[in-house]
Amino acid sequence: MGDDASVGGRGMILLKPDPENERLTRKVEGLNERGESQEVRVVEERALTLYLNSQEVVTAMTVGDYPDLLAVGYFRNQGMLQESDEIRGIDYDEDLGVVVVRTARETDYEERLKRKIRTSGCAEGTAFGDLMEGLESKSVSEGGSVRVEDLLVLLKNINTMPSLYLLAGGIHGCVLCEGREVLLYVEDVGRHNAVDKISGYMRMHGLSGEGKLFFTTGRLTSEMVIKTIAMGIPILVSRSGFTAYGVQIAREHGLTLIGRAKGKRFMVLSGEERVDYGG
């Protein structure tokens, strides 16, 4: 799952970007602003078709790392993989671009798939018409807080860590954190793919969202908020902005929502009681 690395002198990263993996980028030659020939790296995109047992569910465009985590997280966040489900196996065929998640429970989502709708997410981000079903009974735990001092240190650490974004751009990142510690950091061409990889790791390794903070480079849309709540994470942070519906859902379910987090500036639009300003 990637090599361990320390952050800020404390803790260990369980999953981190791998900019040295040449399979994830490609060298392309072009012309710079002076009309000079220059070689740059660009991020790869690959089609990956996800199956749940015998049912083909979706084809996503992805950078291609951690297909098992992406598949498990996608099905979990779409409500198709229950927390009580036993995963019997995960089969990945790189040549065909197919990953199959097999469960002990028989599944059949043909009718549900017909109600699939396109969302604002990039890279084929999709949700089902009944994605909101089950959310009514969910709310994040009342616990968890973030000190402004810790948040600023965390943002600096994330922005300076080696990543595909710093190498090639054109990619989103999602990070699971605790205090000042980075636990999981993944990237993908679509921010929802990156979220799903985090969710998949949490599901497969029994990692709880309680007391954690989730950072994304993407917009704080309704689907991003819903997925964070589904993972049980109380604090969601982004360097980007908000949508009105995302803010509404966050307030209804007790999620702390922090956006426009750049440098030493940020805005809190929900769950401000978890933010410790100090003094």
Q: Give residue 134's pLDDT.
A: 61
Tokens of 222: 């309704």
* Domain match, 78 and 107 both: yes
The number of domains in the chain is: 2
Q: What's the pLDDT tens digit per position in 11-30?
A: 578 999 999 999 999 999 99
CA–CA gap between residue 128 and residue 113 (Å, rounded): 7
CATH number at residue 250: 3.40.140.10
In a domain? residue 12: no
- Selection from 247, 251, 253, 193 nearest residue 222 by Cα: 247
In a domain? residue 38: no
CATH number at residue 53: 3.10.20.10
* Domain match, 119 and 221 both: no
In a domain? residue 153: yes
Q: Give residue 77's pLDDT.
A: 87
* Domain match, 93 and 159 both: no
For residues 106, 77, 183, 233, the Cα torsion angle rounded to the nearest 10 degrees is -120
* Domain match, 170 and 111 both: no
Q: What is the 3-state secondary structure (H, E, C) of the chain?
A: CCCCCCECCECCCCECCCCCCHHHEEEEEEECCCCCEEEEEEECCEEEEEEECCEEEEEEEECCCCHHHHHHHHHHHCCCCCCCCCEEEEEEECCCCEEEEEECCCCCCHHHHHCEEECCCCCCCEEECCCCCCHHHCCCCCCCCEEHHHHHHHHHHHHHCCCHHHHHCCCEEEEEEECCEEEEEEEECCHHHHHHHHHHHHHHHCCCCCCCEEEECCCECHHHHHHHHHCCCCEEEECCCECHHHHHHHHHCCCEEEEEEECCEEEEEECHHHEECCC
- Structural contact between residues 175 and 158, judged by C-beta atoms closer than 8 angstroms: yes
* Domain match, 117 and 189 both: no
* Domain match, 189 and 153 both: yes
* Domain match, 166 and 272 both: yes
* Domain match, 119 and 150 both: no
Helix axes 191-205, 222-230, angle to 10 degrees: 10
In a domain? residue 78: yes
Q: Give residue 108's pLDDT.
A: 82
In a domain? residue 29: no
Which of 99, 130, 161 is at the close of a domain? 130
* Domain match, 78 and 173 both: no
Q: Give residue 90's pLDDT.
A: 98
Tokens of 52: 């749940």
pLDDT under 50: residue ranges of the chain: 1-10, 117-121, 123-126, 128, 130
Backbone torsions φ then ψ of 172, nearest 5 degrees: -105, 155
Q: Give residue 48's pLDDT.
A: 96
What amino acid occupies position 268? V
Q: Output the pTM of the full model.
A: 0.88
* Domain match, 154 and 248 both: yes
In a domain? residue 14: no
In a domain? residue 20: no
* Domain match, 247 and 164 both: yes
In a domain? residue 246: yes
Q: Which domain holds residue 238?
A: 146-276
* Domain match, 113 and 151 both: no
